[in-house]
């Protein structure tokens, strides 16, 4: 239920950014129209074409590439209706004006694509920086003097925050002893993310040293592991397992 809620919130956030981008794009387009319209008879047809690129860029920065596409279409209509003779119609009689429209659409779409890529790259850079900061905090915690229970929870929370699976679990031998043989009694020492079901706990603690079942989702080469298990070892001796459920790497 928690993961469904996260998904709904993420979708809602994307939708809200899209609507905000549309509103900002239309508002800036209307403002530029109000400024340029009184001077349209004395303006070159290139001036409005260049100016109306700006609302599409504003839309892309706020709402993403598809807002820029909507902005290109809206700017096209405003440009044709108000600044290309005959005014007040979508009829284009001059070949020069057709060229201006084609150039306008091409420029807006190219600029929107470039701005969208820069926005994506910036978000990715921020995400990687955040991951690096979390891993640095984890390394500091490992060499610090945190109580064991708090340290294990911190590890699970850090891995959960970086990879964002459905849940993360640290599985250790009960009592903290190093596991040496199959059948060692295990326990889930720390979790983060969604709540583990009874079947999840059973699958994690039933055996030690045996490969855990890894389900796959997707088709063909696009399949990804639903459960990723990483053995934790000290001097080549198993001490536990770090498990990520429904992780996409």
**Confidence class for position 26, pLDDT limits 50, 70, 90:** very high
Mean pLDDT of 209-230: 52
Mean pLDDT of 126-137: 78
Taking the C-alpha atoms of residue 127 and residue 33, their distance in angstroms, rounded to an integer, is 38
Name which of 53-62, 63-72, 94-103 the model is least confident about.
Answer: 94-103
Taking the C-alpha atoms of residue 80 and residue 185, their distance in angstroms, rounded to an integer, is 75
Map out the domains of the chain as residue ranges. 2-125, 151-245
Alpha carbon distance, N-terminus to C-terminus of the chain? 22
Taking the C-alpha atoms of residue 210 and residue 56, their distance in angstroms, rounded to an integer, is 56
pTM, two decimals, is 0.50
Identify the pLDDT of residue 104.
80
Task: Pick 151-245's CATH classification: 3.40.50.720, 3.10.180.10, 3.40.190.10, 3.30.450.40.
Answer: 3.30.450.40
Identify the sign of the CA torsion 52, 58, 61, 64. Answer: negative
Please determine, for residue 198, whether its predicted confidence score (pLDDT) is greater than 80: yes
């Amino acid at each position: 239920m928690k993961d469904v809620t996260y998904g709904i919130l993420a979708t809602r956030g994307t939708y809200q950014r899209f609507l905000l981008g549309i509103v900002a794009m239309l508002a800036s387009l209307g403002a530029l129209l109000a400024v340029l319209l009184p001077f349209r008879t004395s303006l070159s047809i290139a001036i409005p074409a260049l100016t109306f690129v700006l609302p599409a860029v504003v839309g892309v920065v706020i709402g993403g590439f598809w807002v820029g596409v909507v902005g290109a279409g809206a700017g096209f209509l405003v440009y044709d209706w108000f600044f290309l003779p005959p005014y007040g119609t979508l009829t284009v009689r001059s070949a020069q004006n057709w060229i201006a429209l084609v150039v306008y659409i091409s420029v807006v779409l190219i600029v929107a694509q470039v701005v969208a890529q820069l926005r994506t790259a910036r978000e990715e850079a921020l995400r990687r920086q955040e991951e690096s900061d979390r891993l640095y905090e984890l390394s500091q915690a490992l060499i610090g003097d945190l109580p064991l229970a708090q340290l294990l929870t911190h590890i699970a929370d850090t891995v959960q925050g970086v990879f964002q699976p459905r849940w993360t679990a640290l599985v250790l031998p009960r009592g903290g002893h190093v596991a040496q043989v199959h059948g060692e009694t295990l326990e889930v020492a720390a979790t983060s993310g969604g709540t583990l079901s009874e079947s999840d706990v059973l699958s994690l603690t039933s055996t030690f040293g045996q490969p855990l079942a890894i389900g796959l989702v997707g088709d063909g080469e696009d399949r990804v592991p639903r459960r990723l298990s990483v053995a934790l070892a000290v001097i080549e001796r198993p001490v536990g397992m770090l498990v990520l459920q429904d992780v996409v790497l």
